[in-house]
Amino acid sequence: MTGVSATQAPVAEHGGNGAVRTGRRIRQVRELGILLALVLLVAITTLTNPNFLSSQSVRDLLLGATLLTILAVGQSMVIITRNVDLSVGSTLGLSAFATGTLFVSLPALPIPVVALAGVLVGTVCGAVNGALVAAARVPALVVTLGTLYAFRGIGHWWAAGEQINAADMPDTFLGLGRVAVLNIPAPALIALAVVLTAGWYLGSYRSGRELYAVGSDPQAARLVGIPVDRRVFFPFVVNGSLAGLAGVLYAARFGTLDATVGTGLELEVVAAAVVGGVAIFGGSGTVYGAALGAMLLTTIGAALPMLRVDPFWQQAVVGLLIIVAIGLDRLLVLRAARRLRGGESRGA
């Protein structure tokens, strides 16, 4: 009000301690909820069929979750910046095929070099996406829908109908899944390392936090001096590299490779991230949540047969879960907003 000073208490109370707790709680509730759902599912399944927790089936479960987890971590980083990468399935396929091809054409190369090359294929794909989104300012959904087709096409063209079999690859490489520490298979450990590293980076480093800022409000991010283009580019490269890594692990696990590897995976990966609480429009969510989301989706797939549910139900259940998850997110945000504003809400 113009030039009239109102008499008020010297210190105005703006959102007291309740707000602090609410702010923190949302984030934790979200991830705890997924964890709880996961534990519940495992418990129920185990009660019905004790075999579910046998060491062999746990190993299978972890191996099965590995690829989706790694992909979900990379995808989450991209989604947090308010973008999306639909080309991950194609990238994974390309990298897996490249790995196999290298073993065939240059059998003398040491395994780590081949694996690195596989990852690099993914890095290049990610860099192409990132450059198109960050530099050419094209919506990520459009770019990566395009590269989804393009990368897949390149894979087909390269493979030209050929197939690479386990016999073409060294046994040590194929045995990667059987190497285990404390009964946890090596690929799962790699996935765990990826989750922890990414989570640590996003939570504790300036540039990590800046990814959230960019996704939360790109315009404001520019104004506070964040190099937005670089922060958009980088997650695409990481995501591409992780898709490449997943491709290498795929090659090691399944041994049989053709140009169709990873088809249709992209939406499952996005689903895992969304179920794990990564908001589809950026700015919030953690890779831990996304990893839990990936675990949950994989576990559902493994648990249904154990529960003697027709496996045809799996996809329907997953779909329902996605909707329940985003519905829950929305509910939490609404409730928190109401509490923070003391009951006020301004409509959508």
Partner 1 sequence: MTDRPPAAPPPLSLVGVAKSFGMVNALQGVSLELRAGEIHALCGENGAGKSTLVKTIAGVHRPDEGRIEVDGAPTEFASPADAQRAGVAVIYQEPTLFPDLSVAENIFMGRQPLSRGRRIDRTAMYAATDRLFARLGVRIAPERPARGLSIADQQLVEIAKAMSFDARVLIMDEPTAALSGTEVERLFSVARSLRDQGAAVLFISHRFDEVFALCDRITVMRDGRYISTDPVAELTVDTVVRRMVGREVNTLFPKQDTERGEVLLEVDGLTRAGVFSDVGFDVRAGEIVALAGLVGAGRSEVVRAVFGIDRYDFGTVRVAGAALPQGRPAAAMAAGIALVPEDRRQQGLVMEMSIERNATLTRRSALSRFGLLSRRSEEKAAEVWADRLQLKAGHLTDAVSTLSGGNQQKVVLAKWLATRPRVLIVDEPTRGIDVGTKAEVHRLLSHLAGEGLAVLMVSSELPEVLGMADRVLVMHEGRITAELPRGEATEESVMYAATGHKEVA
Partner 2 sequence: MAPDVTTPPAGGTALPPRPAGQRSVLQRVLATRESSVIGALLVSILAASLLVDGFASGRNSGFLILDIAAIALIALPMTLVIVTGEIDLSVASTLGLTSAVMGQLWVIGLPLETIAVLCLVLGALLGAVNGLLVTVAGLPSLAVTIGTMAMYRGLAYVILGDQAVADFPFSWTGGATARLSGTPIPWIALLIIVLAVVFGLLLHATPFGRSLYAIGSNDEAARFSGIPVLRTKLVLFIASGTVASLAGVFWTLQYGSARADNAFGLELSVVAAVLLGGVSIFGGKGALLGVLGGVLLLGTIRNALQLADVSSDMLSIVTGTLLVVSVVLPNAIERVRARRRTAEPPS
Cα-to-chain-centroid distance, residue 208: 16
The angle subtended at Cα 163 by Cα 160 and Cα 167, nearest 5°, is 150
Answer for which of 83, 284, 298, 299 binds partner 1 (CB under 8 A) is 284
Q: Which is nearer to partner 2, 166 or 337 (CB)?
A: 337
Q: Which is nearer to partner 2, 13 or 344 (CB)?
A: 344
Nearest distance in Å: CB 328, partner 2:
10
Per CB under 8 A, which of residues 63..122 are in contact with partner 2? 86
Q: Please count the residues of this chain forming the interface with partner 1, following the rule CB under 8 A.
A: 53
CA distances from 285 to 30, 82, 215, 289, 300 (A): 9, 12, 11, 7, 22
**CB 100, CB 282: distance < 8 Å:** no
210 binds partner 1 (CB under 8 A): yes
Q: What is the dihedral of CA 261, 267, 268, 271, to 10 degrees?
A: 160
**CB 75, CB 199: distance < 8 Å:** no
296 binds partner 2 (CB under 8 A): no
22 binds partner 1 (CB under 8 A): yes
178 binds partner 1 (CB under 8 A): no
56 binds partner 1 (CB under 8 A): no
Nearest distance in Å: CB 286, partner 1:
12
Q: In what helix (H) or strand (E) does residue 269 lie, and over which residues does it extend?
A: helix 265-275
328 binds partner 1 (CB under 8 A): no
Q: How far apart are CA 81 and CA 94, in angstroms?
A: 25
Q: How far apart are CA 121 and CA 100, in angstroms?
A: 12
Q: Which is nearer to partner 1, 310 or 344 (CB)?
A: 344
- Sign of the C-alpha dihedral, residues 200, 183, 61, 306? negative
Q: Which is nearer to partner 2, 77 or 270 (CB)?
A: 270
Q: Name, in order, each residue with C-beta under 8 angstroms of 116's C-beta and a sequence gap of 6 or more.
A: none
* Contact code string over 139-178 relative to partner 2, x by CB under 8 A: x-xxx-xxxxxxxxxxxxx--xx-----------------
Instruction: Tell me which amino acid residue 234 is.
Output: F
Q: In what helix (H) or strand (E) does residue 184 lie, and over which residues does it extend?
A: strand 184-185
Nearest distance in Å: CB 200, partner 1:
9
49 binds partner 2 (CB under 8 A): no
28 binds partner 1 (CB under 8 A): no
| Contacts with partner 2, residue ranges (CB under 8 A) | 86, 132, 136-139, 141-143, 145-157, 160-161, 259, 263-264, 267, 270-271, 274, 280-281, 310, 312-323, 326-327, 330, 348
